[in-house]
Amino acid sequence: MNTKPFNRYLRRITMLVCLLLAGSLSLVRAQGDVEFEVHAPLKVVQGDQFRIEFSVSAPNLDVNAVQFTQPAMNGLNVLAGPVPSNGVFSSFINGVSQTRVTVTYTFWVQADKAGKIDLPAATATVAGKTYQTKPTSIECLTPDQARQQNPQGAQGGRGQHQGGGNAQPVGKATLNSDDILLRMEVNKTDVYKGEPIVASLKIYTQVNIVGFENVKYPALNGFWAQEMDVSGQQGDNRTTLGGKVYHTQTLRQWLLYPQRTGTLEIEQAQFTAIAQLVTQTPTTGSPYDIFFGGAPEVKNVSSRLASSAVKIRVKELPQPQPADFTGAVGQFELAGMISGDRFSANSAGSIILRLTGTGNFPLVEASRITLPAAFEQFDMKTNERLTNTANGTTGEKTFEFPFIARAEGKYDISGVSFSYFDPVSGQYKSVKTPDFPVEILRDEGGGTSGLGMVSGVTKEDLKMLGSDIRFIRMGNPKLVPQGNALLWSWKWFLIVFLLAAAFAGLLFYLQKNIRERADIVRVKTKKANKVALRRLKRAKGYMNAGKESAFFEELLRALWGYMGDKLAIDVANLTKERVLGELVEGRGVPEEQAREFLSLISECEFAQYSPAAGVQMDKAYNAALDLIGRFESKI
Residues 6+ apart with CB under 8 A from 561: 528, 531, 532, 535
Q: Which of the two residues, 567 and 234, has the higher pLDDT score?
A: 567
In angstroms, rounded to a whole number, what is the distance separating the alpha carbons of residues 163 and 156? 14
pLDDT at 500: 94
pLDDT at 107: 81
Q: Taking each helix axis as running N to C, give the angle between helix 617-634 and helix 548-567, from 0 to 180 degrees, rounded to the nearest 10.
A: 10
pLDDT classification of 518: cutoffs 50, 70, 90: low
pLDDT classification of 295: cutoffs 50, 70, 90: low
Question: Could you report the per-residue pLDDT of 485-516, keeping only the tens digit for each?
Answer: 778 888 889 999 999 999 999 989 888 877 76
The amino acid present at 104, given as its one-letter code, is T
pLDDT at 277: 77
Q: Which residues pair with 404 in a beta bridge?
A: 348, 376
pLDDT at 272 over 50: yes
What stretches of 133-243 adopt beta strand conformation (E)? Answer: 136-141, 180-186, 190-192, 197-205, 208-216, 223-227, 237-241
Lowest mean per-residue pLDDT among 392-396, 450-454, 615-619: 450-454
* Whether pTM exceeds 0.85: no
Contact 439, 385 (CB under 8 A): no
Question: Could you report the per-residue pLDDT of 550-593, keeping only the tens digit for each?
Answer: 888 888 888 888 878 777 777 777 788 887 787 787 777 788 88
Q: Mind giving me the DSSP string for 70-82?
A: PPP-TTEEEEEEE
Q: What percent of the chain stands above pLDDT 70?
A: 75
The helix (run of H) or strand (run of E) holding residue 52 is: strand 49-59
pLDDT at 5: 52
pLDDT classification of 160: cutoffs 50, 70, 90: very low
pLDDT at 371: 84
User: What's the mean per-residue pLDDT of the chain?
Assistant: 76
pLDDT at 216: 87
Lowest mean per-residue pLDDT among 256-265, 306-315, 527-536, 620-629: 527-536
The helix (run of H) or strand (run of E) holding residue 600 is: helix 591-609
What is the rounded average pLDDT of the residues 436-459?
57
pLDDT classification of 407: cutoffs 50, 70, 90: confident
